[in-house]
Structure 1
Amino acid sequence: MTAQSRLNVILGAGNLGDRKVDKTARYDTPDEVNAYLNAFYNRGYRQIDTARVYSTGAPGTSEPRLGAVGAGENFIIDTKVLSREPGSHKREKIAQEIEISLEALQIAQINILYLHQPDRATPFEETCEAIDAAYKVGKFKKFGLSNFTADEVKQVLEICERRSFVKPSVYEGQYNPVVRGGEKELFPLLRRHNISFYAWSPAGGGFFAGNHKNAISGGRFDKSTFLGAIYSALYLKPAIEAATENALAVAAKHGISGHAAALRWTAYHSVLDTEYDDAIIIGSFTVDQLNSNLDVIEQGPLPEDIVKAISALYKEVGEEEIPYHF
C-alpha cells in the first residue's frame, strides 16, 4: 500500500462524563476537561466527536461537560442522536434530541449530526424526513451515519435522493488492521457518493498495546463495563490474538510498539484517504497518553516490512472477523 499524507485527527469525547456513575469516564471536572481539550488544541487540532449517549456508562454527561467549558468557542463539535432504544429515530424524538444537544453543548449549530446506529424499528424514511427538517433550519452543517451496514447506507441514500433530502456526507465506523470488512462493500459505496469515512478505534481500543492481557478498571477490556464487554467479545478470539502477536513481533524488531504500529498503519497505509477528507478519531485515558498518541501519528509512515505484516493480519483473522457495523 502506498502511504497517504496525514489524515485529520479528531478528539473523541466518549471518556468525558460523570465519574461517580461511570468508571470509564476519565475527564469529569472542568479542570480535567480543559486539560484534555487544551492539549489537543495546542497540537493544532480543532474537531471534537461526542454523542448523546456518552459517556456510555453515564449517558448524557459528555455534552454538558463540553458546554460548561465553552468548547464550541475553539472547536467544531460533532455529535450523535441517541440510538439505543427502538423508536429513538422517530420524527419527534430526533427533533427533541437535537435541541438537547445544542443546549448541552451551548452552541448554535452542530458541525456533523450523526445517527449513532440504525434504529431498525423506525422507518428510515421518517428518520430522513426529521433529519432534513432540522438541516433546513440550520441545526447542523453535515449529516452523518455511524455503524450502519452498507445496505442500510444504500437505503438512506435512495430515500434522500428520491425526496431531495440532505444526503449523508460522512460515515463513522470502526476501522483498524483487524476490522476491515467495510472495504468489501461499504468503502466502494462511500467513494461513489463522495462520503468521508471517520475511523473510530483506529488502534483497537488498546488491543494492539496488549491492554486485554491485564485489563484495568474502566479500560476498554474491563468486562464489567458496557464498552469493555463489547470490546472483549469482539477482539478476544484465538485467531485474532495469534495473528496480531505475529505481526507485532515484526514491529518490535524496529523498536515500535504494537499500539504505535496499528495507529500508524491506519493513519498512513490503510484505505483511508485525504482525497475524501477521511479522518481518525482518537481518545486517551490521560493527557500524557493523548500527546503520546499524537506523537505516534505525527511520526509518519511505517517501515515496509511492518506494513506488510500488519496488512496481512486481516486475512489471517478469517471467520473471526469483527463486523464494522452494529
Structure 2
Amino acid sequence: MSSRVPLLYGTGGFGVVGTETRVHEVAKAQELIDVFAKHGYSRIDTARFYGEGTSEKIIAQLDLKSATVDTKIIPLKPGDHAPARFREFFAESVQALGPYKIRVLYLHWPDRSVPFEDTLRVVNELHKEGKFEEFGLSNFFSWEVAEIVTIAKANGWIRPTFYQGTYSALDRSVEYELIPCLRKFGIRFVAYSTMAGGYLTGKLLEEAPTPGSHFDSNTRWGDWYHTKYDHLAPLVRDLKELAEKHNLRLGQVALRWLQHHSILTPEDGGVILGASSAQQLEQNILDSEEGPLPEEIVSALEKAWKKAKGGAMYYARA
C-alpha cells in the first residue's frame, strides 16, 4: 500500500556530533533510508543548512537505492543569494552530495537584500548547465511567489514548480492565500513540520524534550519552537484524549489528517516525514498509509484549528 499524498523523508536530523542533530552515524542513517525504500518511497529532502552542511555529506555516503535528493540554499546573512555567493553555496552542496544529483533546488527562504531577478538569473544559469532538474521556493510570501513567477516567465527562465511550507492540523495558515496562489501557477506544495516539530505526538505534554530535539531550549531553535507551539497545549491534550478514545495515537491522527482531510492532493509535492530512528520512521509511514479518520476526530480538529489560528505564526519568513 502507498500513501494518498506522496511521502518524502526529511534529513534535517542528519549531521555530525555538535551540530544539533540526532543521526550522527552513517550506519544509522542507512537504516532509515532502507526503511523508507522498503516501503516504496524514493524522495529525500535535505538542505545546505542541515547539520551545518554535514547532512548532505552523510547522504553522499549512503546507498539511496533509487531515491532522488532535493536540497535548499539558505541565506544566513544579507547577500547570500547574490549570484557569486549563491554559486559558491551551490557548489558546496554539489560537492557534499558527491554521486547524487540534485532533483529540486530550493531557495530556503528569501534574501530580500538581493533583487529576485539577480537570484533567478543565476538559478536559471545553473539549470541550463544541467546542475539540477527542478526549481522550488520555501518560506516566501504568496505575493513574492507571484513576483518570482512573473520575472521568470518574462525572461524565459526556469519557473518554480515546488514550494515547501509549514503545514499541520493545527498550523494551516498556508490555506488562505498561499495555496490558491500555488494552484494558479501550477506549483506543487510540499508540507514540512507536519507533526509541529513533534508537538502533535502529545508526548511533550508529560515528558521533557529529548536533548537535541526541536523543543530542546539549549538548541538554536528550541525557544522558537516553544513560542510557536506551546500555546496549543490545552488543545493538544483534548485531542490526545479523543484519539485514545478511538484507540488511536495523536501522531497517527495528525498524519492521517494530512493524507485525507487536509488541502493536500495526490498531485501535490508531498508530506515530509521526519524521524531519528528506523522504528519511528516505519511507524510514520504506516500511519500515513491508513485510511480516513472518524468524523468525530475530524470535527474536533476543525474546532481546534479555529481556536488555534489566532495565535498561529504566519507561514512565510518575514
Q: Report the TM range for the smaller structure's normalisation.
A: over 0.9
Deviation at 1:103, TM superposition (A): 1.5
Could you tell me which residue of structure 2 aligns to residue 32 of structure 1?
Answer: 28
Letter in structure 2 aligned against 1:235: Y
Aligned partner of 1:317 among 301, 305, 308: 308
The 3 A distance-change label for structure 1 pair 288 and 117 is same
Aligned partner of 1:228 among 215, 222, 226: 222
Aligned-partner Cα distance in 2 for 1:224–1:134: 38
Q: Could you tell me the TM-score, scaled by structure 2's length?
A: 0.94
Decide which moves more: 246-255 or 153-162.
246-255
SS where residue 236 of structure 1 aligns?
Answer: helix
2:285 is aligned with 1:288: no
Aligned-partner Cα distance in 1 for 2:37–2:302: 32
Return 5+ residue gaps in structure 2 as ranges: none
Deviations along 1:137-167, one digit per CA (max 9) or x if unpaired, are: 1111110001111111112112111111111
Deviation at 1:136, TM superposition (A): 1.1
Could you tell me which residue of structure 2 aligns to residue 92 of structure 1?
Answer: 84
2:248 is aligned with 1:256: yes
Aligned-partner Cα distance in 2 for 1:108–1:6: 27
SS where residue 221 of structure 2 aligns?
Answer: helix
Aligned-partner Cα distance in 2 for 1:79–1:69: 16
Could you tell me which residue of structure 2 aligns to residue 126 of structure 1?
Answer: 118
Could you tell me which residue of structure 1 aligns to residue 11 of structure 2?
Answer: 13
User: Does the Cα contact within 8 Å between 1:202 and 1:282 map onto a contact in 2?
Assistant: yes
User: Does the Cα contact within 8 Å between 1:264 and 1:300 map onto a contact in 2?
Assistant: yes
Aligned-partner Cα distance in 1 for 2:142–2:240: 31
Deviation at 1:232, TM superposition (A): 1.1
Letter in structure 2 aligned against 1:269: H
Aligned-partner Cα distance in 2 for 1:153–1:65: 32
Letter in structure 2 aligned against 1:54: Y
SS where residue 270 of structure 1 aligns?
Answer: coil
Deviations along 1:180-205, one digit per CA (max 9) or x if unpaired, are: 11111100010011110000011112
Aligned partner of 2:258 among 260, 266, 275: 266
Identity %: 34
User: Does the Cα contact within 8 Å between 1:181 and 1:321 map onto a contact in 2?
Assistant: yes
Deviations along 1:100-143, one digit per CA (max 9) or x if unpaired, are: 11121113631000000111111111111111111111111110
2:68 is aligned with 1:68: no
Letter in structure 2 aligned against 1:16: F
Q: Could you tell me the TM-score, scaled by structure 1's length?
A: 0.92
Return 5+ residue gaps in structure 1 as ranges: none
Deviation at 1:216, TM superposition (A): 1.7
SS where residue 241 of structure 1 aligns?
Answer: helix
Letter in structure 1 aligned against 2:14: L
Over the residues paired in the alignment, what is the CA RMSD in angstroms?
1.6
Deviation at 1:70, TM superposition (A): 4.3
